[in-house]
Every structure is written in C-alpha cells, then in structure tokens.
Structure 1
Amino acid sequence: MDIKIIKDELQDIIQGKSGNSQKTLIQAIASYLGTSQRASTMAEDDKHYKQEETKSLINYIDQNNLWVNDKVNFDLFVSEGAEQKVYIKNNKTVYKLNDSIYYSTWHEYFINLMLNNYFFPETSYTLVGFCNIDKTLYALVEQAFVKANQPTNLDQVKEFMEANGFENTRNHDYYHPILKIILEDLHDENVLTQEGVLYFIDTVFYNK
C-alpha cells in the first residue's frame, strides 16, 4: 500500500475522522480525551495533568455507563506484568486490565490501542469498559487468546519489522521514520509464534 495512504488513514483514525469499522469506543474516548487535552492549560508532562485527565475520563465513564467491574472472573487469572493483568474469558479470548502506567496520558494509551488494531488486526483490542479496583482506574480490553506452540525467533521479528519499514533502534524497540511511529518492547513474551506465524499480543506504540 502507498505510504501516503497509510499516513492519511492513521491520521484519520487518531483524529477520530475515520468512517469505517475503526470508529469504536476506543476511538470515541481518544477523541474525547484529545479534545480535553487541547482545552487544558497544563502541559502533558505536568505531574498533575494525568490526574486531571483521569478525573475527566471518569466523568465520561459515569455519563456513558461504562463501569464493568462485574465482567471479570478474578479466579481465572493468567499473568501479570508491569502494565496489565490478564484473565481468561473463554478458550478464544482473554481480558486485560490496564492502568496506562506505561503512558504519560490516558490519551496516549488509547492511541496505542488504535495503532495496534491498525497494524495487527488479528490481535486487535476491543474496549469493554472500565474497572475501579483499589482506587485505581483500569481499562478492560478484550483480545484473542493466542497459544504459542513454538519459541519466537527474535531475528524473525526483526526481519518482519524491517520489511514493514521499521528500524531497530535498540534491543527490542523499533521506529518508522516516515510514519513517525515508535513500537517498543517486542521481546518473546510480547510476540508469540503459532504454526510459524508471529502474533503481536502486547504492543507499546507511540505516535511521535
């Protein structure tokens, strides 16, 4: 596909202009937070910015009835990383609770979800709603359950990324110089291999 078309499609998705199936709850909230961001007098790196953004997001959740604390069976816990907790929903799907700790803003987190869904539709995220657990706000997303049946070859990951225009900047981090997109942490726990196919299950995108 032409790189200009990709750039235009990405900008439409990120700015909430897309009229296709990408127009999801994820995009609606990203658009809402983006509007709040533009109206704020604080810089994103202000330590109080995310606190105020979280209050605004909670207001949106309240108004749109997006609390889903009862959705997750906490007995079906699978794993936990620095960023999220994973639970089995059924034999095809997992739930992931994410508190956006890797991101300076919630808006960045939702941009990450949209970029993942654009580049890796086979492991796309669906936003189910939000949970308040021990006074911490979590987004609850649903994703296809991928069961690896062979080790991931990181050289193969690098080849795949470079074939798609991404440069390896250091370790498991990549950058697309034309699209201005950063993709980090593509180690073998975040990229699984099933029947020789790579599945990107935990991506950390940044729109530079």
Structure 2
Amino acid sequence: MISDEIRQKLQNIVRGISLEGTSDRCTTVRSILIESFGASSTVKREFESRSIIKEKQAEFLERYAQKSGIWLESLPSNTEYITRGGESMIYLAADKLNVLKVNDAIYYATWTEYFNSLILHNLLFPNTAYSLLGFIKSDGNLHAVLQQPFIEGEQAKLSDIKDLLSFNGFENTKRQDYYSKEFGLVLEDMHDENVISRQGLLFFIDTVFYIMTV
C-alpha cells in the first residue's frame, strides 16, 4: 500500500510541483526543467508538436551538465554491453552489481516527462531505483546515463504483476497497461520481461509512466 508520504510526493509530481527535501540528481534535473520550461501533462496527440520544446530542453541540459560536472565524454570504464531494451542501451557496470541504461527519452514528448517517469518509478519501486550518472551525446542526440541495481531472477507472472499493481490502486485497462485514477497516472507495457521475480518479491526493472492530468 502506498504510504501517505509517498502519496503526497506523487501528488506533487502530478501537479508539477518541485519536491522539497530531496537532493538526488533526477529530482534536481526535474526541478530545473520545470523552473525553466514549466510543467505539463502528457497529451499524446501533441507528441510531434512538442519536439521543439524537447530540442530546446536537450540544449539546456547539455549546458547544465557541462556546468555541473555531469557531462560524460564516454561511459565509465569496464562496462560490458548486454542488450538493447526498449528505449535503452543496457550495460553491465564494472562492479557487476548494477546496470547502466543509456536513454534518449524517445518514448516521451519532453525531457520533463521523462524525468517525471523516472521519479515516479523511484517512489513506487525503490528496490530498483534509478540514479542519474550524467548525460552523454551519441549519434548527435542527448542521452541520459542511468544506474540501476542489477537484478537476477525469473520473469514475473502476469497475474502477480496485476495483483501487486491493483493493490496499489492501478487498474488494468488493456493488455499490460495500467491506470491510477487517484493520480491520473498511466503505467504502460508491464509485461513479464519488465518485471523480475526473486524469492517471492517483484522487481520492476523497466517502467514507462505518463501523467495524464495536472
């Protein structure tokens, strides 16, 4: 069940409010994007029209990353390429305990939406929380470089995924998509490859959230 503290933070994200008392890089980047570009919900029919905003945000984030010391010329040493999963290139980190995900936010109309999704994931699924290492350019496009715990286990059963999400207020709307009426959140593509089961626990390793209301 979602705690009152997490519930308040979720509501603040949905309303486009900066989160206070939180200093991780994902939250910091979201805050500066909101301050500079404002906050908005997801309107999928406007995806193309928001591409100009996304380009401006990419330029802004590149300058910010260079100024803040989180601009990466290359990935950390001794990383090992694993696969491409959805929107990310995935690498095993040198410590073998984490994976690195290199993501260009292609599923999102703006970088603000992307960082909203990351923070929503971290609040709801802290056992697979993302941390932002920095930004890098690949093929001329800006990418975020994220670190996430490396989880080994079995693919989760769809019924178990549905039960856990339903317990937390997410209704199964179609196929593997879910919706939280309380928060106006869409959680897409929760198939068994995106959730790992280990010792009776579920680990959500790849999520895509959209805020459909403000």
Q: TM-score, normalised by structure 1?
A: 0.88
Task: Tell whether 2:96 aligns with 1:91.
Answer: yes
Task: Tell whether 2:86 aligns with 1:82.
Answer: yes
Alpha-carbon distance, 1:177 to partner: 0.3
One-letter code of the match for 1:16? Answer: S
Partner of 1:9: 9
Q: Is the partner of 2:69 in helix, strand or coil?
A: coil
Give the Cα–Cα distance (whole angstroms) in 2 for the partners of residues 151 and 2 of structure 1: 24
Q: Is the partner of 1:130 in helix, strand or coil?
A: strand
Give the Cα–Cα distance (whole angstroms) in 2 for the partners of residues 112 and 50 of structure 1: 15
Q: Equivalent of 2:191, from 163, 187, 192? A: 187
Alpha-carbon distance, 1:47 to partner: 3.3
Partner of 2:138: 133
One-letter code of the match for 1:38? Answer: G
Q: Is the partner of 2:147 in helix, strand or coil?
A: strand
Q: Deviations over 1:140-172 (max 9, x none)?
A: 010000011x33210111111111111001111
Alpha-carbon distance, 1:12 to partner: 4.1
Comparing 68-77 with 137-146, greater Cα deviation is found at: 68-77
Comparing 7-16 with 74-83, greater Cα deviation is found at: 7-16
Give the Cα–Cα distance (whole angstroms) in 2 for the partners of residues 56 and 116 of structure 1: 24
Q: Is the partner of 2:38 in helix, strand or coil?
A: helix
Q: Equivalent of 2:151, from 143, 146, 169? A: 146
Q: Equivalent of 2:108, from 98, 103, 115? A: 103
Please say if residues 173 and 183 of structure 1, whose CA atoms lie closer than 8 Å, have aligned partners that are also in contact: yes
Comparing 120-129 with 44-53, greater Cα deviation is found at: 44-53
Kindly tell me the number of residue pairs found equivalent between the two proteins. Answer: 202
Query: 1:43-62 alignment to 2 at 5 Å?
Result: 45-62=49-66
What is the CA RMSD across the aligned residues, in angstroms?
Answer: 2.2
Identity %: 36
Partner of 1:164: 168
Please say if residues 175 and 182 of structure 1, whose CA atoms lie closer than 8 Å, have aligned partners that are also in contact: yes
Q: Is the partner of 1:100 in helix, strand or coil?
A: coil
Please say if residues 176 and 190 of structure 2, whose CA atoms lie closer than 8 Å, have aligned partners that are also in contact: yes
Q: Is the partner of 1:72 in helix, strand or coil?
A: coil
Give the Cα–Cα distance (whole angstroms) in 2 for the partners of residues 94 and 138 of structure 1: 16
Give the Cα–Cα distance (whole angstroms) in 2 for the partners of residues 74 and 131 of structure 1: 17
Q: Deviations over 1:82-118 (max 9, x none)?
A: 3001100122111110000010001111111111110
Partner of 1:29: 29
Please say if residues 30 and 110 of structure 1, whose CA atoms lie closer than 8 Å, have aligned partners that are also in contact: yes
Alpha-carbon distance, 1:2 to partner: 7.5
One-letter code of the match for 1:116? Answer: H
CA separation of 1:34/1:198 partners in 2, compared to 1, >3 Å: closer, same or farther?
Answer: same
Give the Cα–Cα distance (whole angstroms) in 1 for the partners of residues 12 and 129 of structure 2: 18
Alpha-carbon distance, 1:7 to partner: 3.7
One-letter code of the match for 1:31? Answer: S
Structure 1 residues without counterparts, runs of 5 or longer: none
Give the Cα–Cα distance (whole angstroms) in 2 for the partners of residues 25 and 5 of structure 1: 20
